[in-house]
Chains A and B, each alone.
Chain A
């Protein structure tokens, strides 16, 4: 019985540790991506007060749907906050076809600048090109 209770407690501890680790990853990723996006803020871009946390690995990119307005310019920025990773952001139209955008990639940080000609649905893909599976934070800025 005691062994069973100890095993349950050990299981709980592992789960709790994992949860806490995820939270730390999210905090690091968010803090880094906000710092990164600050560069665009200096150019008049407003950072939207909203974010998306996702897990990304080399074989499992994440795709997020966004609704954009023609006339606005956007920067999508993502970071894992882990220096060893290599992230990439790409942008697609509502049919999933790639659109032209301005890429920026540097290790755990990636960005894509995009000015839609048509308002509507677009997809933002965050992929990990190199590195271990990681939690990333995606935000966007507009002007």
Chain B
């Protein structure tokens, strides 16, 4: 009973476990840590000289966002955006996509890195002088002004003549078909109409860069599809460079000229929709893009043969085996180069640390604490009940703290150790030609055995058949996992039916279990 209680207690969020004073102390500590992290990042940043590439209209270079409480929201975000491009940032909530957009807009400070718009350094420029316009998720229409006044607001501030204001608003209203709404207030408009007005207010400024922060997420499904195509055609018409944030991968796929996939503050992949779809960089991208998402299976790779959990064997083609071997060759070389780079960086950071006695003292104290705790943990029998877990948790926390400090020494050392371990496993794989992998296959690459398709055939029992009208989502147990396949709805399929699946092995993906990177 007590054990269970403890487990429940440990799972509670920090804010529930601590009392008021402890919470305040923690907040204070976090703030101090955050300030230090920002200072360190800035110091590191000041050594780099950034320049804007010639063909990039908007250029984000090694952008970091660290909040005052030490939360590192965006890590090392770099992208060069050409003029007239439509870039979509996509990722699950909390991945830093909106934060990045707000940094481009100037609503959030950039902790480190550089932002260029049209070749000008924009980090410290006020939002209004960046030549951008933004559409907010909540539309941000002024409720006390009519649609006309709402759209005229930014123009009046620009001190344009009345005739010019009228012309611009009527042009925008014409494009968006909101002329009959001009004398209404936002309250009297539907969601879709408000969305149009918000777009209108952004385009009347004739800004060179248009930022959109999840503009369609407040609309219902049907309207969303309609507005999606309208925004794309608007973009084609205006030609403004657009950055669009969404959590919806369908929007990303249909609208973007290039997609940026993000996860917990890190960029996962940047590429055209087709690139991201066909050649996902890692497991996350493969699972996130595409609906229904890719089927993943744990598999055993042995000399070009994959063995799934349920004993099914898949023989890879010679080309695929070649790709596999090439990948590891490349990866090993890349890792070695990165280790060399990290070694110099760590030496550099250590030199920095030697020049900063305050930081050194702090780090030494943290190290000492860790050493003391690990020493007492060597003899767990001597500790009172429950103390062992507490100390382990404390060590974990201290190690996390240490990574944030010390000019990234520990961060990099961790990465280096990881890479070194990886090289060992790669050598092992090369020698034995045997490893555990994750196999991925998209639902659309699993065909109905009755159709005219080629592939490896498997017979399975349907555990669930979802009819969408034009197609079925067939759920079946295959490879030890629930597998989803997309079948056309020309023949009736019911739960419990036996069907033949044809796996299109040419479109198979394999991911490394350790790094989660896509091998091919």
Q: Do A and B bind each other?
A: no
Instruction: Spell out A's residues near B (CB within 8 Å).
Output: none
B residues near A, CB below 8 A? none
